[in-house]
Amino acid sequence: MVERVWSLPFLEHPAPHPDRKYALIILNQPFSVPLLRRLWHAADWRACADGGANRLYDVLGGDPDVCSEYLPDIIKGDLDSLRDDVKKFYESWCVSVVHDEDQYSTDLMKCVAEVLERDKSTTPEYDIIILGGLSGRLDQTVHTLSYIHKLRKQHKQIFTVTDDNVAWVLDSGEHRIHINHTLLGKTCGLLPLGVESTVLSTTGLQWNLTNKKSSFDGMVSTSNHLVPEEKTVWIKTTMPIWWTVELKSSAL
């Protein structure tokens, strides 16, 4: 089985990714201006999922001069959260506001569908950065975890980023993760979410695992630590897991 390699160039400044394209999806959850700026400038295409447009507008202070420098390519969702003043502002700047009334898909799903549609006409296809998704209401967090777990068979890489964490799904197999210690804190976790159990082996962590079974009913590797001297972490898992690592706010 081919080892999959992961890195986070979109968190670096300037983002060195000439061979990568990123789509940024902003959810209706809090985030800081420094994190927004870092991800915004790394992205090639940007969407707000319904009330995510409120968050974007408000975090920039509602200042028209500042907000006009951060215009998303699209605002999409059932629009039950989008405020009238925010909608009016972005429409005045010719931002596409799309009402999708499908009640069997969430605003996140609607925006991901937009990315997949755009992939049909772009090369290379977009990897996805989701700003938010791991805080706020628990049911929404679980939805994000579940939905990205289901998308793991896509060729693309999909990351969730908050001011505290960056996380993504590692499918069954071997993975090598490049670690930039100037951006990442020491705390990390390997979470067996959505599976009955998995068997884990690792190198590059303070507490490495060797063919160790992990499950919600048993051992879960939370509060593990990166090792400052190690530039990569290697993980082998028999089932999909969530990998999460602390993000240094001071590095943004």
Residue 120 pLDDT greater than 80, yes or no: yes
pLDDT value for 113: 94
pLDDT-derived band at 15 (thresholds 50, 70, 90) equals low
Residue 16 pLDDT greater than 80, yes or no: no
Measured between alpha carbons, how far is residue 203 from residues 118, 135, 206 in Å?
A: 38, 29, 9
DSSP 208: -
pLDDT value for 95: 97
Measured between alpha carbons, how far is residue 22 from residues 11, 92, 123, 164 in Å?
A: 12, 26, 12, 21
Sign of CA dihedral 25, 31, 32, 35: negative
Q: Per DSSP, what are the bridge partners of residue 46?
A: 24
Distance of CA 174 to the CA centre of its chain: 21
pLDDT, one tens digit per residue, over 133-172 is 898 889 989 999 999 999 988 768 999 999 999 999 999 9
CATH superfamily of 164-252: Thiamin pyrophosphokinase, thiamin-binding domain (2.60.120.320)
* Domain covering 18-163 in this structure, CATH number: 3.40.50.10240
Q: What is the pTM of this model?
A: 0.94
pLDDT value for 1: 66
pLDDT, one tens digit per residue, over 19-29 is 789 999 999 99
Domain with CATH 3.40.50.10240 in the chain: 18-163
- Distance in angstroms (rounded) separating the CA atoms of residues 196 and 184: 29
pLDDT, one tens digit per residue, over 31-86 is 999 999 999 999 999 999 999 999 999 999 999 999 999 999 999 999 999 999 99
Cβ neighbours of 48 (radius 10 Å): 30
pLDDT value for 209: 97
Domain with CATH 2.60.120.320 in the chain: 164-252
Please list, in sequence order, all residues whose beta carbon lies within 8 angstroms of the beta carbon of residue 222, skipping any fewer than 6 positions away: 189, 191
- Distance in angstroms (rounded) separating the CA atoms of residues 34 and 236: 34
pLDDT value for 156: 81
